[in-house]
A and B are shown apart, each in its own frame.
Chain A
Amino acid sequence: MATAGTEGLIAIGAGLAVGLAGLGSGLAEKDIGAAAVGAITENPSLFGRAMIFTVLPETIVIFGLVIAIMAIFVM
Protein backbone atom coordinates (compact mmCIF):
# COMPACT_ATOMS: atom_id res chain seq x y z
CA MET A 1 0.00 0.00 0.00
CA ALA A 2 1.16 3.50 -0.73
CA THR A 3 2.44 5.68 2.07
CA ALA A 4 1.09 9.17 2.60
CA GLY A 5 4.09 10.68 0.82
CA THR A 6 3.72 8.70 -2.39
CA GLU A 7 -0.06 9.15 -2.68
CA GLY A 8 0.40 12.49 -4.38
CA LEU A 9 2.82 10.98 -6.89
CA ILE A 10 0.35 8.19 -7.65
CA ALA A 11 -2.37 10.76 -8.25
CA ILE A 12 -0.08 12.72 -10.59
CA GLY A 13 0.78 9.50 -12.43
CA ALA A 14 -2.88 8.56 -12.80
CA GLY A 15 -3.67 12.04 -14.08
CA LEU A 16 -0.83 11.87 -16.58
CA ALA A 17 -1.94 8.43 -17.79
CA VAL A 18 -5.46 9.63 -18.59
CA GLY A 19 -4.41 13.07 -19.80
CA LEU A 20 -1.68 11.96 -22.19
CA ALA A 21 -3.73 9.05 -23.50
CA GLY A 22 -6.59 11.49 -24.10
CA LEU A 23 -4.23 13.76 -26.00
CA GLY A 24 -3.14 10.84 -28.15
CA SER A 25 -6.75 9.87 -28.86
CA GLY A 26 -7.54 13.45 -29.75
CA LEU A 27 -4.62 13.73 -32.15
CA ALA A 28 -5.58 10.50 -33.87
CA GLU A 29 -9.26 11.36 -34.00
CA LYS A 30 -8.87 14.87 -35.38
CA ASP A 31 -7.67 13.77 -38.82
CA ILE A 32 -10.15 10.89 -39.06
CA GLY A 33 -12.95 13.18 -37.92
CA ALA A 34 -12.17 15.80 -40.54
CA ALA A 35 -12.03 13.19 -43.30
CA ALA A 36 -15.21 11.55 -42.00
CA VAL A 37 -17.16 14.82 -42.05
CA GLY A 38 -15.95 15.38 -45.61
CA ALA A 39 -17.06 11.92 -46.65
CA ILE A 40 -20.49 12.27 -44.99
CA THR A 41 -21.04 15.59 -46.78
CA GLU A 42 -20.42 13.82 -50.07
CA ASN A 43 -22.48 10.76 -49.18
CA PRO A 44 -24.61 10.79 -46.02
CA SER A 45 -25.09 7.02 -46.12
CA LEU A 46 -21.47 6.63 -45.00
CA PHE A 47 -22.38 7.92 -41.52
CA GLY A 48 -22.17 4.57 -39.75
CA ARG A 49 -18.84 3.56 -41.20
CA ALA A 50 -17.43 7.08 -40.74
CA MET A 51 -18.45 6.94 -37.10
CA ILE A 52 -16.77 3.58 -36.59
CA PHE A 53 -13.49 4.90 -37.97
CA THR A 54 -13.76 8.12 -35.97
CA VAL A 55 -14.23 6.39 -32.64
CA LEU A 56 -11.61 3.67 -33.17
CA PRO A 57 -8.76 5.62 -31.47
CA GLU A 58 -10.96 6.19 -28.40
CA THR A 59 -9.77 2.84 -27.09
CA ILE A 60 -6.37 4.43 -26.46
CA VAL A 61 -7.81 6.67 -23.77
CA ILE A 62 -9.52 3.67 -22.20
CA PHE A 63 -6.10 2.04 -21.84
CA GLY A 64 -4.94 5.22 -20.09
CA LEU A 65 -7.96 5.04 -17.80
CA VAL A 66 -7.25 1.43 -16.87
CA ILE A 67 -3.64 2.27 -16.04
CA ALA A 68 -4.82 5.22 -13.94
CA ILE A 69 -7.28 3.07 -12.03
CA MET A 70 -4.65 0.38 -11.50
CA ALA A 71 -2.27 3.06 -10.23
CA ILE A 72 -4.82 4.22 -7.69
CA PHE A 73 -6.25 0.89 -6.57
CA VAL A 74 -3.35 -1.54 -6.93
CA MET A 75 -0.27 0.44 -5.98
Chain B
Amino acid sequence: MKDAEIMAKNPNRPLSPHLQVYRWSPQMAISIFHRATGFILATVGMITLLWWLSAIGGGAESYATFQKYVVSAGDSATGFETAVNWFFRLLGLAVTFSFFQHLASGIRHLVLDIGAGYELKANRTWASAAFIAAFFATAFVVLFVASRFLGV
Protein backbone atom coordinates (compact mmCIF):
# COMPACT_ATOMS: atom_id res chain seq x y z
CA MET B 1 0.00 0.00 0.00
CA LYS B 2 1.18 3.47 -0.83
CA ASP B 3 1.83 5.99 1.95
CA ALA B 4 -1.02 8.18 0.75
CA GLU B 5 -3.47 5.31 1.03
CA ILE B 6 -2.37 4.44 4.55
CA MET B 7 -2.74 8.06 5.62
CA ALA B 8 -6.17 8.35 4.01
CA LYS B 9 -7.38 5.47 6.22
CA ASN B 10 -6.46 7.20 9.47
CA PRO B 11 -8.75 10.19 10.02
CA ASN B 12 -7.11 11.05 13.36
CA ARG B 13 -3.75 11.97 11.93
CA PRO B 14 -2.75 15.61 12.56
CA LEU B 15 -3.56 18.12 9.85
CA SER B 16 -1.45 21.09 8.87
CA PRO B 17 -2.87 24.49 9.81
CA HIS B 18 -5.32 25.70 7.21
CA LEU B 19 -7.60 28.70 6.54
CA GLN B 20 -9.25 28.78 9.96
CA VAL B 21 -6.09 29.59 11.90
CA TYR B 22 -5.19 32.74 9.96
CA ARG B 23 -6.52 36.23 10.62
CA TRP B 24 -8.12 37.43 7.39
CA SER B 25 -6.28 40.21 5.62
CA PRO B 26 -7.17 42.20 2.47
CA GLN B 27 -4.43 40.32 0.62
CA MET B 28 -6.05 36.98 1.40
CA ALA B 29 -9.57 38.20 0.68
CA ILE B 30 -8.66 39.70 -2.68
CA SER B 31 -7.12 36.42 -3.81
CA ILE B 32 -10.26 34.34 -3.28
CA PHE B 33 -12.49 37.22 -4.42
CA HIS B 34 -10.61 37.28 -7.71
CA ARG B 35 -11.48 33.65 -8.29
CA ALA B 36 -15.07 33.93 -7.05
CA THR B 37 -15.81 37.06 -9.09
CA GLY B 38 -14.18 35.47 -12.14
CA PHE B 39 -16.48 32.49 -11.72
CA ILE B 40 -19.56 34.73 -11.45
CA LEU B 41 -18.52 36.68 -14.56
CA ALA B 42 -17.83 33.50 -16.54
CA THR B 43 -21.26 32.08 -15.69
CA VAL B 44 -23.94 34.68 -14.86
CA GLY B 45 -22.05 37.57 -16.48
CA MET B 46 -21.39 35.93 -19.84
CA ILE B 47 -24.88 34.45 -20.14
CA THR B 48 -26.38 37.88 -19.37
CA LEU B 49 -24.14 39.47 -22.01
CA LEU B 50 -25.36 36.93 -24.59
CA TRP B 51 -28.97 37.41 -23.49
CA TRP B 52 -28.61 41.19 -23.88
CA LEU B 53 -27.01 40.89 -27.34
CA SER B 54 -29.55 38.38 -28.62
CA ALA B 55 -32.43 40.48 -27.20
CA ILE B 56 -31.13 43.44 -29.21
CA GLY B 57 -30.83 41.24 -32.30
CA GLY B 58 -34.23 39.65 -31.70
CA GLY B 59 -36.20 42.86 -32.06
CA ALA B 60 -38.32 45.17 -29.90
CA GLU B 61 -40.41 42.40 -28.39
CA SER B 62 -37.52 40.26 -27.20
CA TYR B 63 -35.77 43.36 -25.84
CA ALA B 64 -38.90 44.25 -23.89
CA THR B 65 -38.80 40.77 -22.33
CA PHE B 66 -35.15 41.26 -21.35
CA GLN B 67 -36.00 44.64 -19.79
CA LYS B 68 -39.00 43.20 -17.97
CA TYR B 69 -36.80 40.65 -16.21
CA VAL B 70 -33.54 42.52 -15.72
CA VAL B 71 -34.47 46.24 -15.51
CA SER B 72 -38.06 46.75 -14.36
CA ALA B 73 -41.14 44.53 -14.29
CA GLY B 74 -43.33 47.64 -14.65
CA ASP B 75 -46.24 48.97 -12.62
CA SER B 76 -48.78 46.37 -13.76
CA ALA B 77 -46.53 43.45 -12.73
CA THR B 78 -47.79 40.72 -10.41
CA GLY B 79 -46.06 40.06 -7.12
CA PHE B 80 -44.28 37.08 -8.61
CA GLU B 81 -43.00 39.10 -11.60
CA THR B 82 -41.72 41.79 -9.25
CA ALA B 83 -39.94 39.15 -7.15
CA VAL B 84 -38.33 37.63 -10.26
CA ASN B 85 -37.28 41.12 -11.35
CA TRP B 86 -35.61 41.74 -7.96
CA PHE B 87 -33.82 38.39 -8.23
CA PHE B 88 -32.37 39.42 -11.60
CA ARG B 89 -31.51 42.88 -10.24
CA LEU B 90 -29.54 41.23 -7.44
CA LEU B 91 -27.75 39.07 -10.02
CA GLY B 92 -27.04 42.23 -12.01
CA LEU B 93 -25.61 43.87 -8.91
CA ALA B 94 -23.43 40.80 -8.25
CA VAL B 95 -22.19 40.82 -11.86
CA THR B 96 -21.49 44.57 -11.76
CA PHE B 97 -19.52 44.33 -8.53
CA SER B 98 -17.75 41.20 -9.83
CA PHE B 99 -16.77 43.03 -13.01
CA PHE B 100 -15.14 45.96 -11.21
CA GLN B 101 -13.63 43.77 -8.48
CA HIS B 102 -12.14 41.37 -11.05
CA LEU B 103 -10.92 44.33 -13.14
CA ALA B 104 -9.26 46.04 -10.16
CA SER B 105 -7.64 42.92 -8.75
CA GLY B 106 -6.71 41.83 -12.28
CA ILE B 107 -4.80 45.08 -12.80
CA ARG B 108 -3.19 44.45 -9.40
CA HIS B 109 -2.15 41.00 -10.64
CA LEU B 110 -0.57 42.49 -13.77
CA VAL B 111 1.44 44.88 -11.56
CA LEU B 112 2.53 41.97 -9.31
CA ASP B 113 3.51 40.04 -12.46
CA ILE B 114 6.18 42.61 -13.30
CA GLY B 115 7.60 42.06 -9.82
CA ALA B 116 6.30 45.23 -8.16
CA GLY B 117 4.13 45.70 -5.07
CA TYR B 118 5.29 42.78 -2.92
CA GLU B 119 6.41 44.92 0.04
CA LEU B 120 4.02 44.11 2.91
CA LYS B 121 2.61 47.60 3.30
CA ALA B 122 2.24 48.31 -0.43
CA ASN B 123 0.70 44.89 -1.02
CA ARG B 124 -1.86 45.46 1.71
CA THR B 125 -2.64 49.01 0.57
CA TRP B 126 -3.29 48.05 -3.05
CA ALA B 127 -5.38 45.06 -2.05
CA SER B 128 -7.62 47.37 0.00
CA ALA B 129 -7.61 49.96 -2.79
CA ALA B 130 -8.93 47.40 -5.27
CA PHE B 131 -11.91 46.63 -2.98
CA ILE B 132 -12.62 50.33 -2.46
CA ALA B 133 -12.39 51.08 -6.21
CA ALA B 134 -14.77 48.21 -7.02
CA PHE B 135 -17.23 49.40 -4.36
CA PHE B 136 -17.35 52.98 -5.66
CA ALA B 137 -17.50 51.94 -9.34
CA THR B 138 -20.44 49.64 -8.50
CA ALA B 139 -22.18 52.42 -6.56
CA PHE B 140 -21.72 54.71 -9.57
CA VAL B 141 -23.34 52.17 -11.92
CA VAL B 142 -26.23 51.63 -9.49
CA LEU B 143 -26.86 55.40 -9.41
CA PHE B 144 -26.55 55.58 -13.20
CA VAL B 145 -29.06 52.77 -13.72
CA ALA B 146 -31.42 54.18 -11.08
CA SER B 147 -31.44 57.65 -12.67
CA ARG B 148 -31.57 56.51 -16.31
CA PHE B 149 -34.03 53.60 -16.09
CA LEU B 150 -35.96 53.74 -12.87
CA GLY B 151 -36.56 57.48 -12.62
CA VAL B 152 -35.11 57.67 -9.11
Real complex partners, A and B?
A: no
